[in-house]
Structure 1
Amino acid sequence: MLMPNQVQRPPRMLSSAQPIQQLYIPSGRPLVILNGSTNGNLQPLYQRVRPLLQEGLAAWAARRGAVVITGGTNAGIFAVLGQGFARYGRPMACIGVAVAQLVQPPPEGVALEPNHTHMLLTEGQHWGAEVYAMYALAAAYGPPAHSLTIVVGGGPNTLRELEYCAAQGGRMLVVEGSGGVADALLDSLSGQRSGEERLQRLAHTAQIYRINLHAPPHVLQVLLDALMR
């Protein structure tokens, strides 16, 4: 098991034109995509979701040899998950997908999360430009029946990511109580929210599961094992 202060190899940098076949990642592994909040003002959320993402998702991904795709930055839920990989070991691959121009050392930009194994840097001028590449990568790796998108909070870019996920026939595991798009989508699913057409469309077309923010980490692991057989 890798300890938090153990020196690790830097992630491999990739171009957006590089085929996934060149990544030398074994096929047939469970694929998890993590979407959601990175806003620096949401530290209480990141503290609350830490057990679920670290003792739950990170430990499970390392045990199962999964492939994980995230937004790749050292911010928000991606930083929390990366710290989990430092504790429990890396999965088969953890690929961060980010906009090259916006990845800069703070305070000019946002640093890359150091516990990812690969980084795919895309063209673009703003956050959200990487969404297409993220889900194109997921689609190239394998069929949606072998993948799952986990949603924690999130804003407009997260909603776009979920629309790509649904368009590919992907499944979503939404963390209830994490705020943002996650809770708004669950409200739409239960009929508590109306008038937001994009959320309503997702609620009616996507395959959605839920887990509470305060669920014990082993519950997430059991759920992942059941969904990713």
Structure 2
Amino acid sequence: MDATISPAGIAPSVWIARPHARPEPVELDAALAAVGLTDPRPVLVLVGGAANLSEAVAPALLTLFERIAPELDALGAAVIDGGTAFGVMALMGRARLSTGARFPLIGIAPQGAVAIDTGKPDQPAGKDGKARLDPNHTHFLLVPGDGWGEESPWISAVADRLARGRGTLMLVVAGGEITRCDVMHRLRTGGRVLVLAGSGGTADQLVDWRRHGAAGLDGPAVFDAEAPERALIDVLDLADAGEHLPGVLARAFAP
């Protein structure tokens, strides 16, 4: 058995132990079953700015997440993100709480990088300096690793395993090096990626790469100007996202 229950504050949580070299289906099934997530459903993967998220875009993002929360409920979708009390993850948690939404909000984080409790929203760091888990998430999967970025392949693999063909979409908002890692893993598995232009950071670099083949994304060949993975990326302007994103989700997650 590769999955063992571990307390993480108020939410059902699983600590994945004794990993294989990569996430394996049996391992993922055990983890999802341990927290009661057994039914296939569409999955929105949210990646992007954490502590480095600009305060200038945070209010617009919260409004956007509150706008799509009822749509996520109506579609029977789940949301997967990094699960900590920072940036886009905390904003999605707040949006779910404020709208009374019911969709599963699943945080996936490396075991060695987080404090194993949810704490309070105004205390994002634990006593040991590790990141606190967000109290408004409904489930946590704590995966092997001590550093940020080690969870990236797990985020992509869990999304596909939970969806089981029901549709997945990665939403990229701002972000830095870890966000590039998340996007790289998603593109390598053939997953669709939607980038919010105007949110800053990695998101805006991805927009330039998608539209112009512009250099500026350091890293593996997946980000080369001629890489076929560019075709997997779509762009939505942050200013117009409240109007258009619900429809994008409905099409992406249509039965």
**Cα deviations by residue, 1:54-100 (Å, 9 ceiling, x for unpaired):** 222x2322232211100000100011110000012344321101122
Task: Choose 43-52 or 190-199, whichever is displaced more.
Answer: 190-199
RMSD between superposed Cα atoms in Å: 2.3
Q: Which amino acid aligns with 2:210?
A: L
Query: Whole-Å Cα distance in 2 between the matches of residues 203 and 47 of structure 1?
Result: 34
Number of equivalent positions: 220
SS at match of 1:132: helix
Q: Which amino acid aligns with 1:133?
A: W
Aligned to 2:34: 22
Query: Whole-Å Cα distance in 1 between the matches of residues 216 and 147 of structure 2?
Result: 28
Q: Which amino acid aligns with 1:220?
A: L
SS at match of 1:95: strand
User: How far apart are residue 198 of structure 1 and its match?
Assistant: 4.3
User: How far apart are residue 175 of structure 1 and its match?
Assistant: 0.3
Q: Residues 69 and 134 of structure 1 are in contact (CA less than 8 Å); yes or no, is this contact kept in structure 2?
A: yes
1:79-98 alignment runs, 5 A limit: 79-98=90-109
1:62-211 alignment runs, 5 A limit: 62-104=73-115, 106=125, 108-143=129-164, 146-191=167-212, 193-194=214-215, 196=217, 197-200=221-224, 204-206=228-230, 207-211=232-236
Specify every segment of 5 or more residues in structure 1 that has no aligned partner in the other structure, as ranges.
1-8
Query: Whole-Å Cα distance in 1 between the matches of residues 243 and 216 of structure 2?
Result: 36
Q: Which amino acid aligns with 2:37?
A: I
TM-score, length basis structure 1: 0.85
User: How far apart are residue 124 of structure 1 and its match?
Assistant: 2.0
Query: Whole-Å Cα distance in 1 between the matches of residues 243 and 105 of structure 2?
Result: 21
**Cα deviations by residue, 1:158-205 (Å, 9 ceiling, x for unpaired):** 111111111211101110111111111110112162364543369631
TM-score, length basis structure 2: 0.77
Query: Whole-Å Cα distance in 2 between the matches of residues 148 and 168 of structure 1?
Result: 12
Work out the percentage of aligned pairs sharing the same amino acid: 28
Query: Whole-Å Cα distance in 2 between the matches of residues 143 and 161 of structure 1?
Result: 20
Aligned to 1:4: none
